[in-house]
Structure 1
Amino acid sequence: MSILTGYLAVINFITWVAYGLDKGRAKSGKWRIPERTLLLLALIGGSLGALAGMIMFRHKTRKAKFVISVPVMFVVHCVIVTMLYLQ
């Protein structure tokens, strides 16, 4: 399980950084990280980082697909991780 914990720590950090970078780029009018990439990072285990990034950077909080899908992914990830740790 330590591999899973390490993976989740890394992917959530990367996702959180991506949300922060995208917010910074949005403010300065530079090239943006595609929404699809941000959602994919959340889907592959970075939902906590995405949720933290949305709250901390106030980013993507008006987009329904983020406001709905990221918390749903987080709950699903919590259930999966809990089931894996209980085995």
Structure 2
Amino acid sequence: MIFVMSYLLICNSLLFVLMYVDKQKAVKRQWRIPEKTLLFLGLIGGGFGGLISMKAFRHKTMKRSFKMIYTLGTVFAIFLLVYVNR
């Protein structure tokens, strides 16, 4: 149980920070974090951090793929927590 919670905390925190960094780099027109990296982290459990960061930083909000993948990642994380707790 503690392993799964730690894993999800790390994924969500990392994605939240990477979305912030990507937003800052976008504003400064610098090199960006690849979208597939952000999407992958969202899919493997960091979806909630991705959704929160989309709202907090107003970043990638128009991209439908990000909304879908982050929602799917959030559902996956909830499923994982429920599965481990039974």
Question: Aligned partners of 2:80, 2:9: CA distance in 1, in Å?
Answer: 16
Shift of 1:54: 0.8
With normalisation by structure 1, the TM-score equals: 0.90
Residue pair 2:15, 2:42 contacting (<8 A) in 1 also? yes
1:6-85 correspondence runs (5 A): 6-85=6-85
Kindly provide the CA deviation profile for residues 36-77 of structure 1, in whole angstroms up to 9, marking residues without a partner as x: 000011112111111111111111110111122211221232
Stretches of structure 2 lacking an aligned partner (at least 5 in a row): none
Q: What is the count of residue pairs matched by the alignment?
A: 86
AA aligned opposite 2:49: G
Shift of 1:82: 1.2
Q: State the structure with bigger RCO (CA 8 A, min sep 6), 1 or 2.
A: 2
AA aligned opposite 1:33: I
**What do you get for the CA RMSD once the two structures are aligned?**
1.1
Stretches of structure 1 lacking an aligned partner (at least 5 in a row): none
